Amino acid sequence: MITPDWTSFRGILLQNKIPQNQHSYYTKWVEQFLAFILAKDSSYTASSIKAADINHFIQEIDRKFDLTSWQFRQLLHALKLFLIPLYHLSWAKEFDWDYWQAAAQKLADNHETVARDYTELSVQPTNTLKTPTKLNNASHNALLKKLIYSLRSGNYAIRTEQTYANWVKRFLFFHPNTHADELNDEHATQYLNHLAVDRRVASNTQSVALNSLCFLFKNVLEKPLDVKGFKLANRPRKLPVVLATNEIRSLLSQMHGIYQLLAGLQYGTGMRLMEVIRLRVQDIDEAYQQIVIRNAKGNKDRLVPLPECYTEQILSQIDFVSTQHTLDLKNGHGEVYLPDALSRKFPNAAKELRWQYLFPASRISSDPRTGAVRRHHLHETSLQKKIKQAATDANLLKRVSSHTLRHSFATHLLENGYDIRTVQELLGHSDVSTTMIYTHVLNKPGLAVRSPADLININS
Protein backbone atom coordinates (compact mmCIF):
# COMPACT_ATOMS: atom_id res chain seq x y z
CA MET A 1 0.00 0.00 0.00
CA ILE A 2 1.32 3.43 -0.98
CA THR A 3 0.91 6.18 1.61
CA PRO A 4 2.44 9.36 0.16
CA ASP A 5 3.98 12.05 2.31
CA TRP A 6 1.87 14.92 0.98
CA THR A 7 3.72 17.49 3.07
CA SER A 8 7.01 16.54 1.39
CA PHE A 9 5.31 16.52 -2.01
CA ARG A 10 4.03 20.08 -1.51
CA GLY A 11 7.57 21.05 -0.49
CA ILE A 12 8.83 19.64 -3.78
CA LEU A 13 6.20 21.67 -5.63
CA LEU A 14 7.43 24.81 -3.91
CA GLN A 15 11.06 23.98 -4.74
CA ASN A 16 10.06 23.65 -8.39
CA LYS A 17 8.28 27.02 -8.28
CA ILE A 18 4.80 25.60 -8.88
CA PRO A 19 2.26 28.33 -7.94
CA GLN A 20 0.33 27.46 -4.78
CA ASN A 21 -3.02 27.79 -6.53
CA GLN A 22 -1.97 24.78 -8.67
CA HIS A 23 -0.85 22.52 -5.82
CA SER A 24 -4.29 20.99 -5.39
CA TYR A 25 -4.41 20.04 -9.10
CA TYR A 26 -0.98 18.41 -8.93
CA THR A 27 -2.10 16.46 -5.88
CA LYS A 28 -5.32 15.33 -7.59
CA TRP A 29 -3.39 13.99 -10.58
CA VAL A 30 -1.19 11.91 -8.29
CA GLU A 31 -4.22 10.69 -6.34
CA GLN A 32 -5.89 9.57 -9.54
CA PHE A 33 -2.72 7.75 -10.59
CA LEU A 34 -2.50 5.93 -7.25
CA ALA A 35 -6.18 5.00 -7.41
CA PHE A 36 -5.61 3.62 -10.92
CA ILE A 37 -2.72 1.32 -10.00
CA LEU A 38 -4.16 0.27 -6.62
CA ALA A 39 -7.41 -0.73 -8.33
CA LYS A 40 -5.40 -3.36 -10.20
CA ASP A 41 -3.41 -4.53 -7.17
CA SER A 42 -4.05 -3.16 -3.69
CA SER A 43 -0.69 -4.50 -2.46
CA TYR A 44 1.24 -2.15 -4.74
CA THR A 45 4.16 -0.31 -3.17
CA ALA A 46 6.15 2.63 -4.57
CA SER A 47 8.92 0.26 -5.69
CA SER A 48 6.35 -1.82 -7.60
CA ILE A 49 5.40 1.03 -9.96
CA LYS A 50 6.55 0.39 -13.53
CA ALA A 51 6.80 2.45 -16.71
CA ALA A 52 3.87 0.51 -18.18
CA ASP A 53 1.67 1.79 -15.33
CA ILE A 54 2.37 5.37 -16.36
CA ASN A 55 1.72 4.63 -20.03
CA HIS A 56 -1.61 2.95 -19.30
CA PHE A 57 -2.72 5.62 -16.85
CA ILE A 58 -1.93 8.52 -19.22
CA GLN A 59 -3.83 6.87 -22.07
CA GLU A 60 -6.79 6.05 -19.82
CA ILE A 61 -7.03 9.59 -18.45
CA ASP A 62 -6.71 11.14 -21.90
CA ARG A 63 -9.40 8.81 -23.26
CA LYS A 64 -11.84 9.69 -20.49
CA PHE A 65 -11.34 13.43 -20.25
CA ASP A 66 -9.92 14.60 -23.62
CA LEU A 67 -7.40 16.85 -21.88
CA THR A 68 -6.17 20.10 -23.31
CA SER A 69 -2.43 20.41 -23.99
CA TRP A 70 -1.75 22.39 -20.82
CA GLN A 71 -3.69 19.89 -18.67
CA PHE A 72 -1.75 17.06 -20.26
CA ARG A 73 1.57 18.75 -19.49
CA GLN A 74 0.45 19.42 -15.92
CA LEU A 75 -0.44 15.75 -15.45
CA LEU A 76 2.97 14.64 -16.69
CA HIS A 77 4.79 17.16 -14.52
CA ALA A 78 2.89 16.03 -11.44
CA LEU A 79 3.80 12.37 -12.01
CA LYS A 80 7.41 13.25 -12.74
CA LEU A 81 7.79 15.24 -9.50
CA PHE A 82 6.03 12.52 -7.54
CA LEU A 83 8.12 9.61 -8.81
CA ILE A 84 11.60 11.17 -9.00
CA PRO A 85 12.19 13.76 -6.23
CA LEU A 86 9.79 12.11 -3.74
CA TYR A 87 10.43 8.39 -4.27
CA HIS A 88 13.77 8.57 -6.12
CA LEU A 89 12.81 5.84 -8.58
CA SER A 90 15.84 5.40 -10.85
CA TRP A 91 13.86 4.04 -13.81
CA ALA A 92 11.63 7.14 -13.75
CA LYS A 93 14.67 9.29 -14.55
CA GLU A 94 15.15 7.28 -17.74
CA PHE A 95 11.45 7.25 -18.62
CA ASP A 96 10.71 8.91 -21.98
CA TRP A 97 8.91 11.98 -20.62
CA ASP A 98 9.77 13.91 -23.79
CA TYR A 99 7.60 11.61 -25.90
CA TRP A 100 4.52 12.28 -23.80
CA GLN A 101 5.42 15.94 -23.31
CA ALA A 102 5.02 16.53 -27.03
CA ALA A 103 1.27 16.14 -26.35
CA ALA A 104 0.48 15.16 -29.93
CA GLN A 105 -0.01 18.25 -32.02
CA LYS A 106 -2.99 17.66 -34.27
CA LEU A 107 -2.19 17.41 -37.94
CA ALA A 108 -3.35 20.44 -39.90
CA ASP A 109 -6.01 20.11 -42.61
CA ASN A 110 -3.40 20.45 -45.33
CA HIS A 111 -0.72 18.28 -43.70
CA GLU A 112 0.82 16.05 -46.33
CA THR A 113 -0.05 12.88 -44.45
CA VAL A 114 -3.81 13.39 -44.62
CA ALA A 115 -4.33 15.94 -47.41
CA ARG A 116 -4.86 13.28 -50.08
CA ASP A 117 -8.01 12.15 -48.27
CA TYR A 118 -9.87 15.16 -49.57
CA THR A 119 -11.05 16.09 -53.02
CA GLU A 120 -11.41 19.80 -52.34
CA LEU A 121 -9.32 21.63 -54.95
CA SER A 122 -8.12 24.48 -52.76
CA VAL A 123 -4.76 26.17 -52.30
CA GLN A 124 -3.39 26.46 -48.79
CA PRO A 125 -1.10 29.45 -48.11
CA THR A 126 2.54 28.96 -47.20
CA ASN A 127 4.75 31.03 -44.90
CA THR A 128 7.31 32.13 -47.50
CA LEU A 129 6.81 35.04 -49.90
CA LYS A 130 3.31 35.62 -48.57
CA THR A 131 0.68 33.98 -50.73
CA PRO A 132 -2.38 36.10 -51.54
CA THR A 133 -5.45 34.81 -49.75
CA LYS A 134 -7.96 35.61 -52.48
CA LEU A 135 -8.00 35.94 -56.26
CA ASN A 136 -10.76 38.18 -57.63
CA ASN A 137 -10.39 37.05 -61.24
CA ALA A 138 -12.85 34.19 -61.90
CA SER A 139 -10.72 32.79 -64.75
CA HIS A 140 -7.73 32.60 -62.38
CA ASN A 141 -9.69 30.61 -59.79
CA ALA A 142 -10.83 28.18 -62.49
CA LEU A 143 -7.24 27.86 -63.73
CA LEU A 144 -6.00 27.03 -60.22
CA LYS A 145 -8.52 24.21 -59.91
CA LYS A 146 -7.43 22.82 -63.28
CA LEU A 147 -3.81 23.00 -62.12
CA ILE A 148 -4.47 21.03 -58.93
CA TYR A 149 -6.56 18.49 -60.81
CA SER A 150 -3.70 18.00 -63.29
CA LEU A 151 -1.16 17.56 -60.47
CA ARG A 152 -3.33 14.99 -58.74
CA SER A 153 -3.97 13.16 -62.00
CA GLY A 154 -0.19 12.90 -62.40
CA ASN A 155 0.11 11.55 -58.84
CA TYR A 156 2.49 14.30 -57.77
CA ALA A 157 3.47 14.48 -54.11
CA ILE A 158 1.21 16.64 -51.96
CA ARG A 159 4.10 18.96 -51.07
CA THR A 160 4.79 19.45 -54.79
CA GLU A 161 1.12 20.20 -55.32
CA GLN A 162 1.10 22.78 -52.56
CA THR A 163 4.33 24.40 -53.76
CA TYR A 164 3.34 24.60 -57.44
CA ALA A 165 -0.16 25.86 -56.61
CA ASN A 166 1.17 28.60 -54.35
CA TRP A 167 3.70 29.83 -56.92
CA VAL A 168 1.06 29.86 -59.65
CA LYS A 169 -1.27 31.74 -57.33
CA ARG A 170 1.42 34.40 -56.77
CA PHE A 171 2.00 34.58 -60.53
CA LEU A 172 -1.72 35.12 -61.19
CA PHE A 173 -1.92 37.74 -58.46
CA PHE A 174 0.97 39.56 -60.20
CA HIS A 175 -1.25 39.79 -63.33
CA PRO A 176 -4.68 40.39 -61.76
CA ASN A 177 -6.40 41.82 -64.83
CA THR A 178 -5.15 39.33 -67.40
CA HIS A 179 -7.58 36.60 -68.38
CA ALA A 180 -6.20 33.08 -67.90
CA ASP A 181 -6.43 32.32 -71.64
CA GLU A 182 -4.34 35.40 -72.48
CA LEU A 183 -1.34 34.47 -70.30
CA ASN A 184 1.83 34.04 -72.36
CA ASP A 185 5.63 33.84 -72.21
CA GLU A 186 5.98 37.58 -71.67
CA HIS A 187 3.85 37.46 -68.52
CA ALA A 188 6.03 34.66 -67.14
CA THR A 189 9.23 36.55 -67.97
CA GLN A 190 7.95 39.68 -66.21
CA TYR A 191 7.15 37.71 -63.06
CA LEU A 192 10.48 35.86 -62.98
CA ASN A 193 12.34 39.16 -63.41
CA HIS A 194 10.25 40.61 -60.57
CA LEU A 195 11.38 37.75 -58.30
CA ALA A 196 15.06 38.26 -59.17
CA VAL A 197 15.20 42.07 -59.24
CA ASP A 198 12.53 43.28 -56.80
CA ARG A 199 12.22 40.37 -54.40
CA ARG A 200 15.89 39.32 -54.70
CA VAL A 201 15.08 35.67 -54.16
CA ALA A 202 17.67 32.90 -54.16
CA SER A 203 18.36 31.14 -57.44
CA ASN A 204 16.82 27.92 -56.13
CA THR A 205 13.63 29.78 -55.22
CA GLN A 206 13.41 31.26 -58.69
CA SER A 207 13.97 27.79 -60.18
CA VAL A 208 11.01 26.40 -58.23
CA ALA A 209 8.85 29.27 -59.49
CA LEU A 210 10.01 28.58 -63.06
CA ASN A 211 9.22 24.85 -62.74
CA SER A 212 5.76 25.73 -61.44
CA LEU A 213 5.06 28.00 -64.39
CA CYS A 214 6.43 25.45 -66.86
CA PHE A 215 3.99 22.87 -65.51
CA LEU A 216 1.13 25.36 -65.69
CA PHE A 217 1.77 26.35 -69.29
CA LYS A 218 2.52 22.85 -70.58
CA ASN A 219 -0.07 20.74 -68.76
CA VAL A 220 -2.92 23.17 -68.08
CA LEU A 221 -2.75 25.97 -70.67
CA GLU A 222 -1.34 23.51 -73.24
CA LYS A 223 1.19 25.97 -74.65
CA PRO A 224 4.71 25.06 -73.48
CA LEU A 225 6.59 27.95 -71.92
CA ASP A 226 9.50 29.50 -73.80
CA VAL A 227 10.99 31.97 -71.37
CA LYS A 228 13.64 34.20 -72.92
CA GLY A 229 15.45 37.15 -71.53
CA PHE A 230 14.50 36.80 -67.88
CA LYS A 231 17.13 37.64 -65.30
CA LEU A 232 18.53 34.73 -63.28
CA ALA A 233 18.79 35.28 -59.57
CA ASN A 234 22.51 35.37 -58.88
CA ARG A 235 22.73 34.47 -55.23
CA PRO A 236 25.16 31.55 -54.86
CA ARG A 237 23.94 28.14 -53.87
CA LYS A 238 24.82 27.39 -50.28
CA LEU A 239 26.78 24.30 -49.33
CA PRO A 240 25.07 21.96 -46.86
CA VAL A 241 26.01 22.06 -43.19
CA VAL A 242 27.83 18.88 -42.15
CA LEU A 243 28.69 17.78 -38.62
CA ALA A 244 31.92 15.97 -37.79
CA THR A 245 31.65 12.60 -36.07
CA ASN A 246 32.48 14.07 -32.65
CA GLU A 247 29.79 16.72 -33.19
CA ILE A 248 27.26 14.00 -34.07
CA ARG A 249 28.08 12.23 -30.80
CA SER A 250 27.71 15.47 -28.85
CA LEU A 251 24.37 16.23 -30.49
CA LEU A 252 22.87 12.78 -29.89
CA SER A 253 24.16 12.68 -26.31
CA GLN A 254 21.93 15.68 -25.56
CA MET A 255 18.82 13.82 -26.75
CA HIS A 256 16.90 11.07 -25.02
CA GLY A 257 14.30 8.40 -25.64
CA ILE A 258 12.32 8.34 -28.86
CA TYR A 259 13.79 11.59 -30.18
CA GLN A 260 17.35 10.33 -29.80
CA LEU A 261 16.31 7.23 -31.77
CA LEU A 262 14.68 9.34 -34.50
CA ALA A 263 17.72 11.59 -34.86
CA GLY A 264 20.04 8.58 -34.77
CA LEU A 265 18.09 6.91 -37.56
CA GLN A 266 18.26 10.06 -39.68
CA TYR A 267 22.03 10.09 -39.33
CA GLY A 268 22.40 6.30 -39.63
CA THR A 269 20.23 5.92 -42.74
CA GLY A 270 20.12 9.32 -44.46
CA MET A 271 16.33 9.47 -44.30
CA ARG A 272 14.52 12.74 -44.80
CA LEU A 273 12.49 14.17 -41.92
CA MET A 274 9.09 12.95 -43.13
CA GLU A 275 10.50 9.59 -44.21
CA VAL A 276 11.60 8.69 -40.69
CA ILE A 277 8.50 10.21 -39.07
CA ARG A 278 6.14 8.19 -41.29
CA LEU A 279 7.80 4.78 -40.92
CA ARG A 280 5.36 1.96 -40.22
CA VAL A 281 5.94 -1.21 -38.22
CA GLN A 282 6.07 -3.34 -41.38
CA ASP A 283 8.86 -1.20 -42.85
CA ILE A 284 11.40 -2.69 -40.43
CA ASP A 285 13.01 -5.82 -41.87
CA GLU A 286 15.08 -7.30 -39.05
CA ALA A 287 15.90 -10.49 -40.98
CA TYR A 288 17.66 -8.61 -43.79
CA GLN A 289 18.78 -5.77 -41.49
CA GLN A 290 17.18 -3.09 -43.64
CA ILE A 291 14.45 -0.45 -43.63
CA VAL A 292 11.98 0.00 -46.47
CA ILE A 293 11.18 3.63 -47.25
CA ARG A 294 7.88 3.76 -49.13
CA ASN A 295 6.42 6.51 -51.29
CA ALA A 296 9.41 8.77 -50.77
CA LYS A 297 10.18 11.87 -52.82
CA GLY A 298 9.24 11.20 -56.44
CA ASN A 299 6.82 8.49 -55.25
CA LYS A 300 9.68 5.97 -55.16
CA ASP A 301 10.49 3.17 -52.72
CA ARG A 302 14.04 2.44 -51.62
CA LEU A 303 16.02 0.41 -49.09
CA VAL A 304 18.45 1.71 -46.48
CA PRO A 305 20.51 -0.28 -43.96
CA LEU A 306 19.09 -0.80 -40.47
CA PRO A 307 21.91 0.34 -38.14
CA GLU A 308 22.87 -2.55 -35.87
CA CYS A 309 23.39 -0.15 -32.96
CA TYR A 310 19.68 0.79 -33.10
CA THR A 311 18.17 -2.65 -33.76
CA GLU A 312 17.41 -3.39 -30.12
CA GLN A 313 15.83 0.04 -29.57
CA ILE A 314 13.66 -0.35 -32.68
CA LEU A 315 12.45 -3.77 -31.56
CA SER A 316 11.59 -2.26 -28.17
CA GLN A 317 9.73 0.51 -29.97
CA ILE A 318 7.73 -2.07 -31.92
CA ASP A 319 6.82 -3.76 -28.61
CA PHE A 320 5.71 -0.39 -27.26
CA VAL A 321 3.58 0.27 -30.35
CA SER A 322 2.05 -3.22 -30.05
CA THR A 323 1.08 -2.65 -26.42
CA GLN A 324 -0.29 0.80 -27.16
CA HIS A 325 -2.23 -0.49 -30.16
CA THR A 326 -3.79 -3.30 -28.13
CA LEU A 327 -4.98 -0.77 -25.57
CA ASP A 328 -6.34 1.49 -28.33
CA LEU A 329 -8.34 -1.42 -29.78
CA LYS A 330 -9.68 -2.22 -26.32
CA ASN A 331 -10.86 1.37 -26.00
CA GLY A 332 -12.64 1.28 -29.36
CA HIS A 333 -9.93 3.02 -31.40
CA GLY A 334 -6.79 1.63 -33.05
CA GLU A 335 -7.22 2.97 -36.59
CA VAL A 336 -4.39 4.56 -38.53
CA TYR A 337 -4.39 6.62 -41.71
CA LEU A 338 -3.89 4.58 -44.89
CA PRO A 339 -2.74 6.29 -48.11
CA ASP A 340 -3.98 5.98 -51.69
CA ALA A 341 -7.43 4.53 -50.98
CA LEU A 342 -5.97 1.45 -49.28
CA SER A 343 -8.66 1.78 -46.61
CA ARG A 344 -11.28 0.99 -49.27
CA LYS A 345 -9.29 -1.83 -50.80
CA PHE A 346 -8.40 -3.39 -47.42
CA PRO A 347 -11.15 -2.32 -44.95
CA ASN A 348 -9.55 -4.01 -41.95
CA ALA A 349 -5.95 -3.01 -42.61
CA ALA A 350 -6.24 0.29 -40.70
CA LYS A 351 -6.47 -1.65 -37.43
CA GLU A 352 -3.64 -4.10 -38.14
CA LEU A 353 -0.41 -3.75 -36.16
CA ARG A 354 1.83 -3.83 -39.23
CA TRP A 355 0.24 -0.65 -40.59
CA GLN A 356 0.66 1.33 -37.37
CA TYR A 357 3.19 4.13 -37.32
CA LEU A 358 6.50 3.14 -35.76
CA PHE A 359 6.62 6.52 -34.03
CA PRO A 360 2.98 7.19 -33.13
CA ALA A 361 1.67 10.37 -31.58
CA SER A 362 1.38 10.27 -27.81
CA ARG A 363 -2.34 11.01 -28.02
CA ILE A 364 -5.11 10.00 -30.38
CA SER A 365 -6.78 12.85 -32.23
CA SER A 366 -9.87 13.43 -34.30
CA ASP A 367 -9.47 14.54 -37.88
CA PRO A 368 -10.57 18.21 -38.12
CA ARG A 369 -12.61 17.64 -41.29
CA THR A 370 -13.89 14.06 -41.20
CA GLY A 371 -14.07 13.54 -37.44
CA ALA A 372 -12.29 10.17 -37.79
CA VAL A 373 -10.47 9.26 -34.57
CA ARG A 374 -6.97 7.97 -35.29
CA ARG A 375 -3.51 7.79 -33.83
CA HIS A 376 -1.31 9.67 -36.27
CA HIS A 377 2.47 9.81 -36.33
CA LEU A 378 4.48 12.22 -34.22
CA HIS A 379 4.33 15.76 -35.50
CA GLU A 380 7.55 16.51 -37.36
CA THR A 381 8.04 19.85 -35.61
CA SER A 382 8.58 18.09 -32.29
CA LEU A 383 11.70 16.37 -33.67
CA GLN A 384 12.90 19.58 -35.29
CA LYS A 385 12.62 21.41 -31.97
CA LYS A 386 14.46 18.66 -30.09
CA ILE A 387 17.35 18.68 -32.59
CA LYS A 388 17.63 22.46 -32.42
CA GLN A 389 17.61 22.39 -28.61
CA ALA A 390 20.18 19.56 -28.53
CA ALA A 391 22.50 21.56 -30.81
CA THR A 392 22.25 24.49 -28.42
CA ASP A 393 22.89 22.26 -25.37
CA ALA A 394 25.90 20.69 -27.11
CA ASN A 395 27.33 24.18 -27.81
CA LEU A 396 27.46 23.54 -31.55
CA LEU A 397 28.05 26.78 -33.43
CA LYS A 398 26.89 25.39 -36.77
CA ARG A 399 23.31 25.90 -37.91
CA VAL A 400 21.89 22.44 -37.24
CA SER A 401 18.57 21.08 -38.50
CA SER A 402 17.17 17.61 -39.03
CA HIS A 403 18.42 17.71 -42.63
CA THR A 404 21.95 18.29 -41.34
CA LEU A 405 21.93 14.67 -40.18
CA ARG A 406 21.15 13.53 -43.74
CA HIS A 407 23.98 15.70 -45.10
CA SER A 408 26.33 14.22 -42.51
CA PHE A 409 25.29 10.67 -43.43
CA ALA A 410 26.22 11.20 -47.09
CA THR A 411 29.48 13.00 -46.34
CA HIS A 412 30.69 10.43 -43.83
CA LEU A 413 29.95 7.57 -46.26
CA LEU A 414 32.09 9.27 -48.91
CA GLU A 415 34.82 9.88 -46.35
CA ASN A 416 34.81 6.16 -45.61
CA GLY A 417 35.36 5.23 -49.24
CA TYR A 418 31.86 4.41 -50.50
CA ASP A 419 31.32 5.31 -54.14
CA ILE A 420 29.01 8.17 -55.06
CA ARG A 421 26.54 5.93 -56.93
CA THR A 422 25.91 3.93 -53.76
CA VAL A 423 25.37 7.12 -51.79
CA GLN A 424 23.03 8.40 -54.51
CA GLU A 425 20.89 5.25 -54.24
CA LEU A 426 20.75 5.39 -50.45
CA LEU A 427 19.71 9.05 -50.50
CA GLY A 428 17.07 8.47 -53.17
CA HIS A 429 18.45 11.08 -55.57
CA SER A 430 17.25 10.79 -59.17
CA ASP A 431 20.37 12.45 -60.57
CA VAL A 432 23.94 11.89 -59.40
CA SER A 433 24.60 15.62 -59.88
CA THR A 434 22.45 16.24 -56.79
CA THR A 435 24.68 13.90 -54.79
CA MET A 436 27.84 15.58 -56.13
CA ILE A 437 27.28 18.48 -53.71
CA TYR A 438 28.82 16.33 -50.99
CA THR A 439 32.08 16.01 -52.89
CA HIS A 440 32.35 19.80 -52.65
CA VAL A 441 31.88 19.57 -48.90
CA LEU A 442 34.70 17.04 -48.76
CA ASN A 443 36.79 19.20 -51.09
CA LYS A 444 37.51 15.96 -52.93
CA PRO A 445 36.21 16.27 -56.47
CA GLY A 446 38.74 13.60 -57.45
CA LEU A 447 41.90 13.98 -55.43
CA ALA A 448 42.38 15.40 -51.96
CA VAL A 449 43.58 19.00 -52.06
CA ARG A 450 45.96 20.27 -49.40
CA SER A 451 46.42 23.92 -48.62
CA PRO A 452 49.69 25.33 -50.03
CA ALA A 453 50.35 26.75 -46.56
CA ASP A 454 50.59 23.18 -45.27
CA LEU A 455 52.75 22.09 -48.20
CA ILE A 456 55.53 24.58 -47.36
CA ASN A 457 55.04 24.26 -43.58
CA ILE A 458 54.61 28.03 -43.33
CA ASN A 459 55.00 28.17 -39.51
CA SER A 460 58.43 26.53 -39.41
The ranges assigned to domains in the chain are 6-95, 126-220, 239-444
What is each CA distance from 68 to 65, 103, 364, 365, 376, in whole angstroms? 9, 9, 12, 12, 17
344 is catalytic: no
Per annotation, catalytic residue among 191, 267, 357, 438:
438
Mean pLDDT of 301-317: 94
Separation of alpha carbons 81 and 386, rounded Å: 22
Count other C-beta atoms under 10 Å from residue 455's C-beta: 8
Burial class (CB in 10 A: 0-12, 13-18, 19+), 318: middle
Rounded distance between C-alpha atoms, residue 322 and residue 115, angstroms: 27
Given 272, 374, 376, 377, which residue is catalytic? 272
- Pairing, β 365-366 against β 373-374: antiparallel
pLDDT band at residue 234 under the 50/70/90 scheme: low
**Catalytic choice (23, 116, 146, 403):** 403
Instruction: Find the catalytic residue in 297, 302, 351, 388.
Output: 297
Is the pLDDT score of 434 beyond 60? Answer: yes
What is the predicted pLDDT for the residue at 198?
86
**pLDDT for res 94:** 83
Q: What is the pLDDT of residue 127?
A: 47
Rounded (10°) angle between helices 69-81 and 23-40? 70
3-state class of 393 per DSSP?
helix
Nearest to 281 by CA among 218, 390, 355, 220: 355
Report CA Rg, the chain.
Answer: 26
Identify the band that residue 74 occupies on the pLDDT scale cut at 50, 70 and 90: very high
Architecture field, domain 126-220: Orthogonal Bundle (1.10)
Per DSSP, helices labelled H in 185-307 are: 185-197, 203-215, 245-253, 257-269, 273-277
* Low-confidence winner among 244-248, 363-367, 430-434 (lowest mean pLDDT): 363-367
- pLDDT of amino acid 124: 54
Q: Can you give the pTM of this predicted structure?
A: 0.78
Residue 377 is a catalytic residue: no
Catalytic residue among 77, 80, 379, 429: 429
| Residue 441 pLDDT | 66
Residue 88 bears catalytic tag? no
Q: Is 429 a catalytic residue?
A: yes
* Alpha-carbon span 109 to 366, nearest angstrom: 11
Q: How far apart are CA 33 and CA 57, in angstroms?
A: 7
CATH 3.30.310.50 is the classification of domain 239-444 = no
- Is 199 annotated as catalytic? no
Query: What pLDDT, in 10s, does the model give residues 80-93?
Result: 999 999 888 888 88
Q: Which of 255, 289, 267, 262 is nearest to 278 (CA)?
A: 262
